[in-house]
Amino acid sequence: GAGVSQSPSNKVTEKGKDVELRCDPISGHTALYWYRQSLGQGLEFLIYFQGNSAPDKSGLPSDRFSAERTGGSVSTLTIQRTQQEDSAVYLCASSLSGGAGANVLTFGAGSRLTVL
């Protein structure tokens, strides 16, 4: 597609429920990233996929968070047993590759998650 597409744009859930957030990167972009933006923590890196390599999960805050990328394209971020501190905007980004010189990230509009 023309840009990075994320869904849903808004999600309200109850504490303890699981949520799935979806990201459709720009066609042809091999690298995909998830970031989280919250008032207290700013913009935080969560996870990074590059081609068929094992993802870099170093930013995931707990084992309740996981992500997968199917067929090298669409990615789903899953948060299990949501907590109120998970409330944030979850941003997906993609880039042509993860290599030096091709690391300009294009961001989606984000999925705003509110945990009640």
Partner 1 sequence: AQKVTQAQTEISVVEKEDVTLDCVYETRDTTYYLFWYKQPPSGELVFLIRRNSFDEQNEISGRYSWNFQKSTSSFNFTITASQVVDSAVYFCALSGKDSWGKLQFGAGTQVVVTP
> Alpha-carbon distance 13 to 115, whole Å?
5
Residues binding partner 1: number (CB under 8 A): 27
Report helix, strand and coil shares of the chain as percent, to nearest 5: 5, 50, 50
In the complex with partner 1, the residue whose CB is nearer, 42 or 71, is: 42
- The binding track of 91-110 with respect to partner 1, each residue x by CB under 8 A or -, is x-x-x-xxxxxxxxxxxxxx
In the complex with partner 1, the residue whose CB is nearer, 80 or 109, is: 109
90 binding partner 1? (CB under 8 A)? no
Q: What's the token pair of residue 64?
A: 């309740």
- The binding track of 15-54 with respect to partner 1, each residue x by CB under 8 A or -, is ----------------x-x--------xx-x--x-x----
* 108 neighbors 116 (Cβ within 8 angstroms): no
> Alpha-carbon distance 33 to 23, whole Å?
9
Backbone phi, psi, residue 51, to 5°: 55, -130
In the complex with partner 1, the residue whose CB is nearer, 77 or 110, is: 110
> Alpha-carbon distance 80 to 50, whole Å?
24
- Which residues form the interface with partner 1 (CB under 8 A)? 31, 33, 42-43, 45, 48, 50, 56, 59, 89, 91, 93, 95, 97-110
